[in-house]
Structure 1
Amino acid sequence: MSTPVTPENTPGGISRRGVLGLAAATAAGTAIGYGLGRGSADQALDEGATHPFYGDHQAGITTPVQRHLYFASFDMTSRADRDDLISLLQDWTEAAALLTAGREVGKTGAVDGPPLAPPDDTGEALGLGPHSLTLTFGLGPSLFDREGDTFGIADRRPAPLQELPLFAFDLLEDPISGGDLCIQACADDPQVTMHAIRNLSRIAFGRAQIRWTRLGYGRTSRTSTDQQTPRNLFGFKDGTANILADDADALKRWVWADDGWMAGGSYLVARTIQMTIENWDRVQLAEQEAIIGRSKGEGAPLSGGEEMTEPDFSMRSSTGDFAVPSTSHVRLAHPDLNDGVRILRRGYNYVDGNNALGQITAGLFFLAFQRDPEQFIALQTSLKTDALNEYIRHIGSALFAIPPGLRDGEYLAQALFEP
């Protein structure tokens, strides 16, 4: 693997356009555009904005949530061995450093190579800029379960990395669940995310292939105080009480793992949650609010106050019932009723067209980071009586170990392969 890419250390053979692009991205990236006051992050987008690829933790977890997502799950090919896995992670590391800096992949990029050979880079992101691209990589339980321990890592499997149990109301589809590896690409331009996954998939050819993908838009959570709470496809504000990037104590307690080679990493739960849009649209407003536990306009808890007001779960209405209903989503998911358990959410809306009846196929691509998957398991178990279950279907599920960040000269998950 080559040395990390920086403006001062540009490997030989990089395309001329890539060198100029990195310089522009570096200059523009000094001002990400997120510190301009509450809500301004949703308005001021900088096509040259970048996030560091190297650091203590992988980007794309506490990074301010971008507008677009392209998520890809991969399976290693049947003939791949340990050397193939390591070389793939090395090649992905090198390419990811280039992509997140707004550069083309390969030695000659998209247009500077030999005219009679395929270009190193597919070229659809030329001139677009990095648009705050982050790439987050993970390893699935199945990677450690290969028969015969093909990759020589079975004894290095983190204890928390086990297949998620089947939850109440799960209707999981195998083709959109699981995977040996994953890449989460987030950016403020959808073509930038497409370009990243397309080129990383191309690099994986012969060693790994895509198992399933999910395109997301319109983030459904916030990770920064500069971001307004977004709305999901049911029209309600979502993720009001999410863990934020500046809450170091909460991140340490609930997000960052501290076990062995995973120290500084996290565990990602990815769930495809289909919403029965047409059924929901026929529900009275008051009932919708009772199901969620918040007002649809302000997003305030039904116990009163404003959006950020803590719910009062002991308050009762004039009828003697709880003001925040006992089967409401907010109540059942709240840390106060789950031994304080919290997760860091980073989800997106998705639309997959329509079914044969003309109904919209859409929903929430739920992404959550936690130091131990048991946090998600506890919360999801508590939601078995959630009134919202009548209007959603969990159809896809996956769990991935997200290795810690990288130092200069390292490759993804390098500590996994070292004694």
Structure 2
Amino acid sequence: MTDPANESDRQQREPEGVAPRPSRRALLGWGGAGLALGAAAAGGTVAALRSGTEAVPAGMSGAAVPFHGAHQAGIASAVQDRLHFAAFDVTTKDRAALVRLLKDWTRAAERMTAGLPVGEGAVGGLPEAPPDDTGEALGLKPNRLTLTIGFGPGLFAKDRFGLEDRRPEALVDLEQFPGDNLDPARSGGDLCVQACADDPQVAVHAIRQLARIGFGKTAMRWSQLGFGKTSSTTPDQQTPRNMMGFKDGTRNISGTDTAALDRHVWVGGGDGADWMTGGSYLVARRIRMHIETWDRTPLQEQEDIFGRDKAEGAPVGKPKEHDAPFLKAMKPDAHVRLAHPDSNDGATILRRGYSFTDGTDGLGRLDAGLFFLAYQRDVRKGFVRIQRALSKNDSLNEYIQHVGSAVFAVPPGVRDTDDWWGRTLFV
């Protein structure tokens, strides 16, 4: 029987218009959370969760980004300031347990992106049981939190979950590019979750909850914290700078350019794997920058390497940042020239990277750089095509090294409260 005093407190903690959550005694732990939280997400919360991946203006501090839609949020959505990215190995061998996990993760993601605690929250439950939420995000707004899931090649391996015939051709195992020095401990993964928010505690809290819910079925393989977005999907905003001091993402795909997104980012109905229609493919690369060497490089040489001036971000010979670049005016090994679609048969990707600093490397050098995230319609025609050109000829390679790598199939969005992450793959 519900304690009237506790019930009153719980209703006061819920935002106005949100249906009261079910009793903890009715949930019986996370084993029944999929059904119980499906009901909890109904009512007034649905309005905050519905509508897909419309870009929320960057100035709307604390706002919630809609969770439901044809595409997952966190791809074309306005890029937030903070990142916590995590890759997981699936430890269970039971397909039904994996499906149950994805459903539980979806219900938790619905609540967290709306600014609500997981389950019955961090307080007010049974004193004898661990709370459903760890509580470090109590009192914090959603801060434009988005959670985006992806499936790695290992999930489709033979004799695992019966998905070997469902692996898309576009989900290729990335080749070893010249100059790569990949750390297996920072590469790969069966599942990934990209948490982006304007508050680092909100992003970290989200990954922590999903890891906790997945205990016994998944194990975190590696993770990466990021700050200071290095690309933008809102070109009307100030272009961010990377750790080398240069503006990054000047000609990135806009989150409101539906034609470009359909052409270069979203998987179409005739692209092979029907279950991926409306999804995308993600390449994640941890790129270490040799900061100390770069900092001793003359300004003119830095600008020649990028093919842009450092102050304005304008391409060589042009006065403004967004002026169309004249590639032949740049040096043959300039980064912008080699990465440009005109140099790569039109290959275009949506970048969503972040800077990182992870202490020092034991030799007094800063372990810092770019956590590169790129979404595309086909990995072979996007990242692979561009990286082949960059890895062989880019003058920037003297100052960077790719040390981590992963590729994921990012399924379409969750349509409503009856849908769940990856449903199209498993049914």
Q: Same fold (TM over 0.5)?
A: yes
For the residues of structure 2 that align with 1:326 and 1:288, how far apart are their CA atoms? Answer: 14
Q: Does 1:412 align with 2:421?
A: yes
Q: Deviations over 1:270-320 (max 9, x none)?
A: 000000000000000000000000000000001222000011123xxxxxx
Question: Which residue of 402, 405, 408 corresponds with 1:400?
Answer: 408
Distance 2:18 2:56 in 1: 27
Q: Pick one of 46, 61, 70 that aligns with 1:46.
A: 61
What's the counterpart of residue 388 of structure 2?
A: 381
Aligned residue for 2:350? 344
Aligned mate of 1:116, from 128, 148, 157: 128
3-state DSSP of counterpart to 1:353 = strand
Report deviation, 1:116: 2.1
Cα RMSD of the aligned pairs, angstroms, is: 2.4
SS of aligned partner of 1:397: strand
Mapping of 1:237-252 within 5 angstroms?
Answer: 237-252=247-262
**Alpha-carbon distance in structure 2 between the residues aligned to 1:244 and 1:24:** 29
| SS state at 2:327 partner | coil
Question: Against the structure 1 CA distance between its residues 24 and 8, is the aligned structure 2 distance closer, same or farther, given a 3 Å change threshold?
Answer: closer
Report if the CA contact (8 A) 1:136-1:184 is conserved.
yes
Distance across 2 between alignment mates of 1:7 and 1:336: 51
| Distance apart, 1:227 and its partner CA | 2.1
- Secondary structure (helix, strand or coil) at the match of 1:74 reads strand
Hey, what's the Cα distance between the residues in 2 that align with 1:124 and 1:184?
19
Superposed, 1:11-410 pairs within 5 Å as: 11-13=21-23, 35=57, 41=58, 44-47=59-62, 49-77=63-91, 79-106=92-119, 108-145=120-157, 147-148=158-159, 150-258=160-268, 259-314=273-328, 323-374=329-380, 375-383=382-390, 384-408=392-416, 409-410=418-419
Inter-CA distance 347–180: structure 2 relative to 1 (3 Å threshold): same
Question: Cα deviation per residue 1:29-63 (whole Å; 9 max; x = unaligned)?
Answer: 99x9955xxxxx3xx3522x011111000000000
CA contact (8 A) 1:33 1:46 kept: no
What CA distance in whole angstroms lies between the structure 1 residues aligned with 2:196 and 2:210?
14
Contact conserved, 1:33 with 1:45, CA < 8 A, in 2? no
Aligned 8 A contact 2:19 2:44 in 1: no
Query: Aligned equivalents of 2:189 and 2:210: distance in 1?
Result: 16
- The one-letter code of the counterpart of 1:208 is T
What is the distance in 2 between the residues matched to 1:33 and 1:177? 30
Deviations 1:186-208 (A, max 9, x none): 00000000100000000000000
1:319 alignment partner in structure 2: none
1:152 is displaced (CA, Å) by: 1.4
User: How far is 1:162 from its partner?
Assistant: 2.0
| 2:8 matched residue in structure 1 | none
CA contact (8 A) 2:45 2:114 kept: no
- 2:7 is matched with none
Q: Which amino acid aligns with 2:110?
A: A
Matched residue of 2:409: which SS?
strand
In structure 2, relative to structure 1, the CA distance for the partners of 1:33 and 1:168 (3 Å cut) is: closer
Q: 1:103 to 1:65 in 2, by over 3 A?
A: same
Q: Distance in 2 between matches of 1:117 and 1:330?
A: 56
Contact persistence 1:25–1:102 (CA under 8 A) = no
Q: Distance in 2 between matches of 1:214 and 1:53?
A: 23
SS at match of 1:382: helix
Paired amino acid for 1:165: E
1:80-122 Cα offsets, whole Å, 9 max, x none, are 310111011000010000000000001x210011112111100
Q: Secondary structure at the match of 1:362?
A: strand
One-letter amino acid matched to 2:226: G
1:10 Cα deviation after fit: 5.2
Number of residue equivalences = 388
Deviates more, 1:111-120 or 1:234-243: 111-120
Instruction: Give per-residue Cα distances to partners, 1:227-250, cap 9 Å, x unaligned.
Output: 211000000000101001111111
Q: Supply the distance in 2 between the matched residues of 1:97 and 1:34 (Cα, whole angstroms).
A: 17
2:87, 2:221 within 8 Å by CA — same for their partners in 1?
yes
Q: Is the 8 A contact 2:226 2:355 kept in 1?
A: yes
Q: Which residue of 2 aligns with 1:38?
A: none
The code of the aligned residue for 2:116 comes to R
Q: Distance in 1 between matches of 2:200 and 2:302?
A: 32
Q: Note the C-alpha offset of 1:264.
A: 0.2
Q: Distance in 2 between matches of 1:25 and 1:357?
A: 52
Give the TM-score of the pair, scaled to structure 1.
Answer: 0.88
Which segments of 5 or more consecutive residues in structure 1 lack a partner in the other structure? 1-5, 36-40, 315-322
Distance 1:247 1:260 in 2: 24
